[in-house]
Amino acid sequence: MKLLIPPPIVTAICGLAMLGIAQFFPQTQLTFPFQALVAVAFIVAGLAIALVSVGAFRKAKTTVTPLAPEKASSLVVTGLYRYTRNPMYLGMLLILCGVAVWLGSLANVIVLIAFVAYITAFQIVPEEARLSQVFGTGYESYKARVRRWL
């Protein structure tokens, strides 16, 4: 696999980048009523989605680590996986959306786009290739009926 940095670390790096952008470009900041509440809602939703997704993998007794998809022992297609093939990454994105709202910097939209592009190119695409090798037509059928992100 091409992935060198685990997705939670990529998420943390993006969060730190957002903080830096918000500090160095205060002119891009905006505030609105209930901003903190909206930010917390995004973060809580992201954490919940990520944790429920990890729980589904644990229940299926398959590997959670994205660094070795070939170690997957079963294909999880129930729960949140009926709606998105990557709810863990979606959860991470929602957490970052919450951070962006909390900081109020419009420039952080660039970091959100970069996160999606990076995770898609260096995590999801290679992971999908390996899962296709491991699960064959079962995974291909799943890919055909469930979207990558949403």
The residue extents of the domains of the chain are: 34-145
- What pLDDT, on the 0 to 100 scale, is given for residue 100? 97
Q: Are 47 and 91 a contacting pair, CB within 8 Å?
A: yes
What is the full per-residue pLDDT of the chain (150 aa) written as tens digits?
455 789 999 999 999 999 999 999 999 899 999 999 999 999 999 999 999 999 999 999 988 876 777 678 899 999 999 999 999 999 999 999 999 999 999 999 999 999 999 999 999 999 999 999 999 999 999 999 999 999
Q: Which two tokens stand for residue 8?
A: 């939670």
pTM of the predicted model, to two decimals?
0.94
Contacts for 124 with CB less than 8 Å, ≥ 6 apart: 85, 86, 89, 148
Element (H, E) at 135: helix 125-135
Contacts for 50 with CB less than 8 Å, ≥ 6 apart: 87, 88, 91, 92, 95
d(CA 64, CA 67): 9
d(CA 63, CA 72): 5
The DSSP letter of residue 60 is T
